[in-house]
Amino acid sequence: MAPAPPPDLRERVPLAPLTTLGLGGPARYFVEPSSTEALAEALAWAAASGVRALVLGGGSNVVVADAGVDALVVRPVLRGIERRPAAPPEGGRAGEPGVDTVLVVAAASEPWDLFVRSTVSEGLAGLECLSGIPGTVGASPVQNVGAYGREVAEVLDEVRVLDRRTLEECVLSVGECAFAYRDSRFRREPDRFVVLAASFRLTPGGAPTVRYPELERTVAGGGASPTPGAVREAVLALRRGKSMVLEAGDPNRRSVGSFFVNPVLPAEEAERVVARALALGVAGDQAAVPRFPAGEGRVKLSAAWLIEAAGFRKGERRGPVGISSRHSLALVHHGGGRTADLLALAREIRDRVRERFGVTLRPEPVFLGFQDGEDGGKDPIGG
């Protein structure tokens, strides 16, 4: 006997108001489960009904197709924060540097920045560099979110998930999450797990992480060693200066933040990009091309620099969409547009950067509805 539909199941629910872009069509079905049991029941109904189920969090890193999403869109409402003592990590002993930590467990639907603010206010170091990022706690391991020299994977202890194959809860270690730069097992296997909660190993009274050059310069004027609170305020100020904090009245607020990921290339390929920039006259010397060591003989380039060097300007518009006036990595919806307009601009940027520098920029957001939508069955900005 097939499971009964969820009692709060709705149809043709607009998704644009649930995203920071404000674009896209409706969900065929929509549900907001407030417990793990209700979530499992909704997923069981979808599987028995032959309906694909997709998970939506805070909507800050999502692009929805204009045709909508021919699926059950599940928007969990799972709240709660718990703090408990942490056992020393494997091989560590209490009293050693970095070992005297606590675990803070946050449910998936907790707003990310409010969670970060609460940890900083409690004197816990570890998340201060990730201040101001929109979205939810549950999305943070999916994207392995990072900013200003820190990635979520560095402070995660474990992730509690619902395995969609068995509809049972399980716990994944950091190693099992297979984290990479702005990537994870959750992103590579989107139909396998739903994040229920994440545990973070934080340090009471610890020193903040200050290793990103721009952040170092910002906090250097403070004189004394910065506190996590001071670093949080510095990060928020930097993000506001780039319209990377969601604030009413900001003309750049309708975006997904950085639309493209900074490319990480083998060192020899990165040097070819530098040589190309010199040959094109867009860089006066090698030092003018931003690049950063990325480990294992690889180099991270600045996608923002490549976009501007390819001839795009901050504030440039294509009708209802454009490039943020404060950060060239953010594509902005100014109102009255369609997802197709945004994707056309993204393709234009991707193609020109590839033509000039031989680098294909990879999009950062998650795309919903394109498997059956008007843009075809693959990542609309792929290839």
Beta bridge partners of 332: 322
140 is catalytic: no
258 is catalytic: yes
Of the candidates 182, 298, 326, 362, the residue annotated as catalytic is 182
Of the candidates 184, 199, 258, 324, the residue annotated as catalytic is 258
CA 99 to chain centroid, in Å, comes to: 28
State how far the Cα of 242 lies from the Cα of 224, in Å rounded to an integer.
27
Helix axes of 228-241 and 213-220: crossing angle, nearest 10 degrees: 110
**Vertex 347, ends 345 and 352: CA angle to 5°?**
100
Max Cα-Cα span within the chain: 70
Beta bridge partners of 69: 27
28 is catalytic: no
If one counts every other C-beta atom within 10 angstroms of the C-beta of residue 35, the result is: 11
Of the candidates 32, 110, 151, 364, the residue annotated as catalytic is 364
Q: Is 204 within 8 Å of 124 (Cβ atoms)?
A: yes
Residue 194 has which token pair?
């739903």
Q: Which residues of 189-201 are buried (b: 16+ CB within 10 A; e: fewer)?
A: eeeebbbbbbbbb
Query: CB neighbours of 109 closer than 8 A, spacing ≥ 6?
Result: 57, 76, 77, 78, 79, 136, 137, 138
Q: Which of 139, 109, 147 minimizes the C-alpha distance to 32?
A: 109
DSSP three-state, residue 300: strand
Stated as kind and residue range, the H or E segment containing 102 is: strand 102-107
Active site residues: 182, 258, 364
